Amino acid sequence: MRKIPTLYLRDFNARPAHVTTEPNPECAWVLAGEGIATRKWDGTCTMRDEAGAWWARREVKQGKTPPPHFVTVVTDDETGRTVGWEPMEQASFAKYHAEALAYGGTDRPGTYELLGPRINGNPDGFMVHILMFHGWAPLDERVDLEAAPRDYEGLRVWLASRPYEGIVFHHDDGRMAKIKRKDFPA
């Protein structure tokens, strides 16, 4: 799990920080029309590994001690935060993850978004805790996302008119890029 780059470069001097109109060179493939747009859900990332163990995504601030059994993936040079995985059973939301597992559909290895009433203020309005496989969305949303513009102003307006947190673009070769509604300046 590598932090997904944002489609446009950020202005970290702005308060709050937001994207600029300058494309992120790492994400030029999106602006060239490559990749598939999927919905970015507003929950918390979890992973089922090949052995069937569950992990919770965790960020550790610079200078802080990681939790026990933490698996480091990458440290962000800009923020100094280390991103990695901690065993699900020690995560603060393990109870809600257990509730979501009761609904099934989670037997395939990969990453999932934990969503529900007690996660991130539940902006998507779920009545129960669920695990949403990353890249999946209902058919009507997939059709809507296929029509998403790929230019700065078009994306800003398009996202402002939708209930989605943002978009994650997936390239066939595994690259990803993201943009969130709140990334744009007010």
pLDDT digits (tens, 9 = 90+) for 80-101: 899 999 999 999 999 999 999 9
- CB 83 within 8 Å of CB 58: yes
DSSP 181: G
- CB 84 within 8 Å of CB 72: yes
Q: Sort 113 into a burial class: Cβ within 10 Å, 0-12 / 13-18 / 19+.
A: buried
DSSP 3: P
pLDDT of 91: 97
Residues (pLDDT < 70) of the chain are 1-2
pLDDT of 1: 59
> Of the candidates 109, 99, 112, which has an alpha carbon nearest to the alpha carbon of residue 44?
112
Alpha-carbon span 179 to 18, nearest angstrom:
11
> Of the candidates 130, 159, 168, 163, which has an alpha carbon nearest to the alpha carbon of residue 43?
130
In angstroms and rounded to an integer, the radius of gyration of the C-alpha atoms of the chain is: 17
